[in-house]
A = this chain, B = another copy of it.
Amino acid sequence: MGGDNAPGQILDGAAQAANEYGIDISVVGLPGAVQPLLERHPKLTLVPCTQVIGMDEHPAQAVRSKPDSSMNVCARLCRDGRADGWIMATALFVQGRIRGVERPALGSIIPTQHGFAYFLDVGANVDSKPEYLVQFAAMGAVYAREMMGRSEPRVGLLSNGEEEGKGDELVRETAKRLKGTLRGFIGNIEPKDLYAAKADVVVADGFVGNVAIKMAEATAEFLFRNLRDEIPKTTMGKVGGMLIRGQVRQLRARIDWREFGGAPLLGINGIAVIAHGRSDARAIKNAIRVTREAVDAQLVGKIRAEVGR
């Protein structure tokens, strides 16, 4: 019931995933809104809810005051073992934390010169303490190992300079604690080195990480829009623009968040993949793929073991 394109695109993406990946998918929503659309999607099962959280409501309060909203129903399905994982359009802690986890963190996949890096926290927390970031680093390393096939992930701290001693107080203190305790810790990392693929995992406070990732998205959007507007202003540009269209489209697809679908909230007692609020069918299909990969990788158990250590 959430996101800009619900329920139509969500159901389309879910149906594509059911077909393509051969997994059982339940969709949770108001029967009146969802049931009529399910005729086209016989593989999807409706699990009804009776309440909906409006766009104008305070999300965390609404989750508490509306126990039968789709978010709560999803979390219960997962808690009761009737679902292995679920997808939501906002990073709310509807499910409890793994014992020992200070704060859950939200990760995001970032394209780099040589593939992808995993960047967290991109928005689950603000005003993090060093002990949170130390755990984000450990949980991020588990993610890179189990979900991205990096057997010995290199973990960096996003900072304003790579030299030791650079950073704000949080980064400096976190670096001190990670040094010598986290295998694969490579110290501070600057944005340019993130793109140069010098780390598999990049750690930041959720305010800094959110601003950083939004800055990257906004910069890319700004540049592509300017190229699209400026290039056709000359006749040569018009022709050239048509000739490069295919290559540009390929590059855009490679860095498009819709291809990654989403990423699970790390540190909670279950698999909840956070998808973009603007998700279309393709993004939802990919979010379901990520959910299945996290389930298959037993991500929750692996993080539990790592945090217990």
Given A221-B195, A240-B243: A167 touches B215 (CB 8 Å cut-off):
no
Total residues of chain A contacting the partner, CB 8 A = 58
Binds B, one of A18-26, A225-233, A260-268: A225-233
- The complex is assembled from copies of this chain, and their number is 2
Question: Distance in Å from the Cβ of A14 to the closest Cβ of chain B?
Answer: 28
Contact with B along A194-215 (1 / 0, CB 8 A): 1100000000111110111011
Residues of B near A207 (CB, < 8 A) are: 160, 167-168, 171, 208
* A113 sits at the interface (CB 8 A): yes
B211 touches A160 (CB 8 A): yes
Are A210 and B127 in contact, CB atoms less than 8 angstroms apart? no
User: Which A residues, 213 to 258, have Cβ-Cβ distances below 8 Å to chain B?
Assistant: 214-227, 230-231, 233-234, 236-237, 239-244, 246-248, 250-251, 254-255
Chain A interface main SS type: helix
Interfacial chain B residues near A244, Cβ < 8 Å? 231, 236-237, 240-241, 244
Whether the pair B218, A192 counts as a contact (CB closer than 8 A) is yes
Report the minimum CB–CB distance from A75 to chain B (whole Å). 23
For the complex of A and B, the 4 pairs showing the least CB-CB separation, nearest first, are A240-B243, A240-B244, A191-B218, A160-B210
List 5 contacting pairs A-B, 8 Å CB cutoff, sorted by A: A158-B211, A192-B221, A230-B250, A240-B244, A243-B243
